Amino acid sequence: MTSTDTKMKKIGVYTSGGDAPGMNAAVRSVVRTAVTNGLEIMGIIQGYTGMIENKMLPLQMRDMANIIQRGGTILKTGRCPEFMKPEYRKKAADFLRAQGIEALVCIGGDGSFRGAQALATEHGIRVVGIAGTIDNDVYGTDDTIGFDTAVNTALSAIDKIRDTADSHDRIFIVEVMGRNSGFIASHVGVAGGAEEILTPENIIPVDKIVEKLKESRARGKTSSILITAEGQKPGRAYDLAEAIRKKSGLDAKVCILGHQQRGGSPTANDRILASRLGYAAVQALLDGKSNIMVGVQYGRLVEVALEDVISKTKEGDKHLIQLARALSV
């Protein structure tokens, strides 16, 4: 994980996978820390696609002006299936060397880190990862860039939905993002006063949901909010609503929040987290380190081996789901 080479002159930075609010703040931190320490820095456009197409440009201090508050990523992002093939990774490595890039800062999720680790192990390019994903599902860090913003975006929408649910005495099923992770759903569910939370880690039979809804109505509760993570495909909320209707005759309205959770100006928490991690990533490279992710645990910056990050699973917080259930009576 360390190297004795301290003569690094040029590094690259890229964003990969799904965009997340705060990625720009991380890029800003990486660039300004690098330049302050006498390094040249290149921005790689559109993640691994840009790497294999040689789409790179030099970045300067002033290029980072007025981006800390912007959602998305000025470097663009995307997924690149071709990068799973060794010949494309070699092509990327050849372009990186031709540009004089000796090390990389990768801002993305665990899929992005797999590509970064492959570059490190196969081609000797030093890499440090920064976790940027709204799903907060990266092992080794308590929080990922974009998660706090996504939760607050979803919560704002749910507060508005609750107003109409109460006005019409309705049941609403709100679907939030989270294909394999229930972190957004569990946090939003507690903060939004949801009656039940359904996540990949917390699958509940429809009969139990119907039983709880009927018990709530018997106690005089006239409206309910259910939160569900999208699962493997968006739209599972419609299947749940139809199942509830068939089992109970109760009509449940559906609201799918979708990609709005990825956009918008990042919260102060995400800007601060991104700034801390961007600085720490460059410092790690200056210290000769590689094949690690910088993250945060209990408020403290940590370094975690990429091998652990991509091979281990971050457990969902079942306590939050239990808490939401207990407080929704």
Active site amino acids: 135
Q: Tokens 């609010």 — which residue?
A: 21
Distance CA 195, CA 243 (A): 17
Token readout for 143 is 């929080």
Q: How far is CA 15 from the centre of its chain?
A: 12
Distance CA 264, CA 262 (A): 7
Distance CA 149, CA 168 (A): 29
Distance CA 298, CA 142 (A): 7
Token readout for 264 is 């918008």
Closest Cα partner for 63 from 38, 39, 41?
41
Distance CA 224, CA 194 (A): 7
Q: Which residues contact 49 (CB under 8 A, 6 or more apart)?
A: 55, 78, 80, 82
Q: Tokens 């010949």 — which residue?
A: 87
Closest Cα partner for 105 from 279, 282, 283, 272?
282
Closest Cα partner for 22 from 183, 166, 145?
145
Which H helix or E strand runs over 20? Answer: none
Strand-strand pairing, 40-44 and 56-58: antiparallel
Closest Cα partner for 307 from 144, 142, 118?
118
